[in-house]
Every structure is written in structure tokens, then in C-alpha cells.
């Protein structure tokens, strides 16, 4: 996921007394904790699928949350969700909000320092990576209460072996976003093949617009383009193997990805390393760029009254034998640290976060994602959310995103600078492949 602000210091992230701390003192329910827990247990209907909990009957006091939701829209959504929990449970949540970029960069030190009881994080490889290092609390008992509300795929993405370590809140697709009105005014059709896509880019340039927006100042947005090109050219299974360190980065397959990307770059905004993803999104909002390969959170940058004009299509097919059925659809949610100050309250908070009610509250306030819970009410979804549900439900393969499907140190110290170097000079693919392979051999020791 992607929310970026100016980077605070690592110590600022860990200290609750820093200027980045956003303390909440909830308006507590008039009833005591036991009564409030009864209210929580009643919300959402079915006790198991709602995430309300028999296991949290003794929970009281306060817990704490380290959050990466620094941008206005997701932060407001999280505030509403937490306020509902506080009111219904009588448990107070003190929250430390940090921009997502700093959150990810400092996560190792954060977890070794004085982390909050619960923290925002991502499903899959990146969750297991920190669990394997002993930083994560086992929440299998929480899943005994909330598990029926999630599909097997969500359970698998939330587990490390036979123990559960993550609570999903929502997910969202990465795709090619565009303004319906701009396409309609110009008579542009949705491309089904790479040739169609290139022809469309030529038409868009002819109309005086930049075909594809791109901002990679933070280093991660370009990963989405690499992911989708790799899945379209080499297939989903190869992509996942590459992320896991089971394939070489200096292979002919990876070279083909960068060669194709280099051919497409002239259709993108120039100098992307000097532009944030929000600035690139602004060019789409203002009609200066016609398309943008990004996650559905691009909608956060659109004025509310213009969001119905936002639409997307999945990146077109490159190889007919591979098709266009695979995509990135990251799952965002929450984890508990290994030694929380108030484990019972933290687990009760996680039970609420794993409820249909929590998902409904969040996506209603931030309609740029879809709730992970199977029982979440989707009747209020906008057209983009409904389309996202259909796309993800019918996907042939779902990846989490490059920096979630591989080692975090490989993603941050090797892939980010190498992709930025490629964007600066797409002619030097030999050096790009050599740098990626050297990093893989150094960090993926077992597979080296």
C-alpha cells in the first residue's frame, strides 16, 4: 500500500511521545468494560464471522497501534474504525501514525525497539519474514473466532505454517487507471493486447497528452510495472519463483522484461525519479496524462465528486499462451508484536479488526479498496469497488507486490535503487541485471 509523507526519524516512529504520535482518548461507552464487550460481541451478527470474541472477555484497559496510514483518506478511515472499537469495547487505543515510506524502512529497528502492541503490515512473505525472526505474536486463538469470515486464500496469506500471525482488513488491485470521460471524448478503446496498448499510446501522444503517468521518487511504484510485465511475459509461477529467490535475475526471462519496459518508457512521464506517486496521480486527475499503472488507492487523489469518472483495465496480454489473468492485489491488515504490553486488549482489538464491521467502516470511508471479510456488506460499493471484486475473484493468479513477495532487504536495498537506475538510463540493461543478480546471491544465501 502506499501513503507517503515527509520522512520522520526512526526514533520518532518508536517513541509514543514524539510529535508523530496521535493519541486517542475515546469517548467510552457509559457501561463498564464487561458491558461494552457484550455490545462488541453483538455487532455484525454471527459471532464467529464477526470477529467478536469469547476469547477477549477479560480484555480491558488500553492497547496501542503503530500505523502507516499517514495520508488523509486512509487515516480518517482508520480513525473511524478505531473509534467504533473504542466505543463498543471500552478499550482505549493509542495510535502512533507514521508515513508508509518511513514505516517500511524502519520496520526492522522498530520491531526490535519498543513497538506498539498492534501494527499495520502486509500479508504473505513479508509477514512471515518477521515472524521467523521472533518479532511477531501468535494470534491463532484470534483466528479461532474470526476465521470463518475469510476464505482459505486469506487464511494462507495470514499464516506461517500452522500458526496465524496476520489479520486481513482489505485488498485492492493494481491495474491501468484512466478517466472514462477522457477516453470517451477521444474515442479511445480499452487495449486487449500489447500492440493495442502501444497503438493507444501513439494516439494519446498525438492528442497532446502523456500516455502513462509515472512517479518513482519513493522507489516502490515502478515495482508494479515490473511485476505486471514479468507476469505477462514469463507467467505468474515464474514471477513468484523469482521473488522467492529461486530464479536468477540475470536470466533471459528477466532481460526480456526490461527490454520490453525500455520500449514502453518513451510513453511515460519523463524523469519519474523526481516525482512522487501523488504528483503523477495529479497529472491523471488534471487530464495531462491519460493512464496510470498503480493500485486502486490512486482514487485517494481524486476529488470525491469526480471518483465515478475513474475506471481501470487490467494490463493487456503480451503472450497469448500466458494471457492477462494474473495481477498484483496486495492484502493490508494488522499484526501483533511478540511481547505486547496488554495482550488481551491487543487480541480483542485484532478480533474487531478481523470483523465484517471493521472492513465495512474502513472501505466506506476510503472507497479505494475492498473489504477482506467474506460477510462484509458490498451493497454500498461504488462501481470501481464492484469492478475490483470481479477482477480479483476471477484472477488466474494473485501476487502481493514485489516488496511483499520477496525479502524486504532485497526489495529496499537492491531492487529500489536498481529500478531507479534503470529509469534514469534504460539502455544499460546489462548493469541492471548484474546488480540484481549480485544482490540476490548476497541476500538469498540458501538459494545463492
Q: Quote the longest CA-to-CA distance of the chain.
A: 67
Beta bridge partners of 328: 399
Evaluated on CA atoms 338, 374, 357, 371, the torsion sign reads positive
Cα separation of 175 and 327, whole Å? 8
Cα separation of 370 and 375, whole Å? 12
Average pLDDT, the chain: 86
Give pLDDT tens digits for 294-349. Answer: 999 999 899 989 989 999 999 999 999 999 999 999 999 999 999 999 999 999 99
CB-side neighbour CA atoms (13 Å) of 132: 9
CB-side neighbour CA atoms (13 Å) of 118: 27
Q: What does the block give as the cell for 53?
A: 470474541
Cα separation of 141 and 164, whole Å? 8
What percent of the chain has pLDDT above 90? 74
Q: In 3D, which of 355, 348, 365, 302 has the Cα closest to residue 333?
A: 355
* pTM more than 0.75: yes
Q: How many CB atoms lie within 10 A of CB 58?
A: 11
Lowest mean pLDDT among 96-105, 135-144, 236-245, 353-362: 96-105
> Quick check: 93 and 349 in contact, CB under 8 A?
yes
Give pLDDT tens digits for 170-182. Answer: 999 999 999 999 9
Q: Which helix (H) or strand (E) holds 159?
A: strand 159-160
- The answer to whether residue 225 scores a pLDDT higher than 80 is yes
- The answer to whether residue 27 scores a pLDDT higher than 80 is no
- The answer to whether residue 23 scores a pLDDT higher than 70 is no
pLDDT confidence bin for 447, thresholds 50/70/90 = low
Check residue 261 and give its pLDDT.
Answer: 98
Give pLDDT tens digits for 51-83. Answer: 344 444 568 899 999 999 888 888 999 999 999
- The answer to whether residue 5 scores a pLDDT higher than 80 is no
Check residue 57 and give its pLDDT.
Answer: 53
Q: How many CB atoms lie within 10 A of CB 344?
A: 17
CA 184 to chain centre: 30
**First vs last C-alpha separation in the chain:** 29
Backbone torsion region of residue 316, taken as left when φ is above 0, otherwise alpha when ψ lies between -120 and 50, otherwise beta: beta
The per-residue b/e assignment along 371-386, b for 16 or more CB within 10 angstroms, e otherwise, is: bbbebbeeeebeebbe
Q: Region 139-166: what's the mean pLDDT? A: 94
Q: Give the phi and the psi of residue 356 in degrees, each rounded to 5.
A: -65, -35
> Quick check: 377 and 364 in contact, CB under 8 A?
no
Check residue 160 and give its pLDDT.
Answer: 94
Q: Which helix (H) or strand (E) holds 292?
A: strand 289-295
Q: In 3D, which of 218, 289, 293, 226 has the Cα closest to residue 253?
A: 226
Residue located via cell numbers 491523471: 284
Amino acid at each position: 500500500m502506499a501513503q507517503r509523507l515527509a520522512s520522520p526519524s526512526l526514533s520518532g516512529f518508536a517513541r509514543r511521545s514524539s510529535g508523530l504520535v496521535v493519541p486517542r482518548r475515546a469517548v467510552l461507552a457509559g457501561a463498564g468494560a464487561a458491558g461494552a464487550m457484550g455490545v462488541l460481541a453483538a455487532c455484525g451478527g454471527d459471532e464467529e464471522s464477526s470477529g467478536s470474541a469469547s476469547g477477549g472477555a477479560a480484555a480491558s484497559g488500553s492497547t496501542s497501534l503503530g500505523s502507516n496510514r499517514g495520508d488523509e483518506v486512509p487515516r480518517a478511515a482508520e480513525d473511524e474504525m478505531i473509534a467504533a472499537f473504542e466505543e463498543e469495547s471500552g478499550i482505549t487505543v493509542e495510535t502512533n501514525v507514521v508515513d508508509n515510506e518511513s514505516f517500511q524502512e524502519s520496520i526492522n529497528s522498530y520491531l526490535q525497539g519498543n513497538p506498539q502492541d498492534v501494527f499495520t503490515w502486509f500479508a504473505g512473505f513479508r509477514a512471515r519474514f518477521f515472524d521467523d525472526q521472533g518479532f511477531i505474536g501468535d494470534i491463532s486463538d484470534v483466528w479461532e473466532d474470526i476465521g470463518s469470515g475469510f476464505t482459505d486464500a486469506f487464511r494462507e496469506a495470514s499464516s506461517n505454517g500452522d500458526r496465524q500471525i496476520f489479520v486481513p482488513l482489505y485488498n485492492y488491485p493494481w491495474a491501468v487507471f484512466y478517466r472514462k470521460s477522457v477516453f470517451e471524448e477521444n474515442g479511445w478503446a480499452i487495449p486487449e493486447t500489447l500492440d493495442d496498448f502501444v497503438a493507444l499510446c501513439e494516439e494519446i501522444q498525438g492528442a497532446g497528452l502523456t500516455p502513462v503517468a509515472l512517479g518513482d521518487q519513493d522507489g516502490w511504484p515502478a515495482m508494479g510495472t515490473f511485476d505486471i510485465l514479468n507476469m505477462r511475459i514469463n507467467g505468474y509461477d515464474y514471477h513468484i519463483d523469482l521473488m522467492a529467490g529461486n530464479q536468477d535475475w540475470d536470466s533471459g526471462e528477466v532481460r526480456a522484461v526490461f527490454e520490453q519496459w525500455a520500449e514502453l518508457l518513451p510513453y511515460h512521464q519523463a524523469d519519474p525519479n523526481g516525482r512522487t506517486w501523488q504528483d503523477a496521480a495529479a497529472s491523471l486527475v488534471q487530464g495531462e496524462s491519460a493512464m496510470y499503472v498503480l493500485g486502486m488507492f490512486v482514487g485517494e487523489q481524486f476529488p470525491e465528486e469526480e471518483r465515478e469518472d475513474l475506471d481501470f483495465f487490467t494490463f493487456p496480454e503480451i503472450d497469448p499462451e500466458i494471457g492477462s489473468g494474473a495481477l498484483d492485489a496486495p492484502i493490508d491488515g494488522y499484526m501483533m508484536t511478540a511481547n505486547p504490553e496488554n495482550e488481551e486488549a491487543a487480541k480483542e482489538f485484532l478480533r474487531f479488526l478481523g470483523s465484517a464491521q471493521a472492513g465495512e467502516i474502513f472501505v466506506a470511508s476510503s472507497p479505494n479498496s475492498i473489504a477482506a471479510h467474506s460477510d462484509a456488506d458490498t451493497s454500498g460499493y461504488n462501481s470501481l469497488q464492484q469492478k475490483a471484486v470481479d477482477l480479483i475473484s476471477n484472477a488466474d493468479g494473485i501476487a502481493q507486490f514485489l516488496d511483499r513477495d520477496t525479502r524486504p532487504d532485497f526489495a529496499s536495498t537492491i531492487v529500489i535503487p536498481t529500478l531507479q537506475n534503470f529509469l534514469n538510463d534504460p539502455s544499460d540493461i546489462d548493469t541492471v541485471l548484474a546488480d540484481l543478480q549480485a544482490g540476490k546471491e548476497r541476500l538469498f544465501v540458501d538459494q545463492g
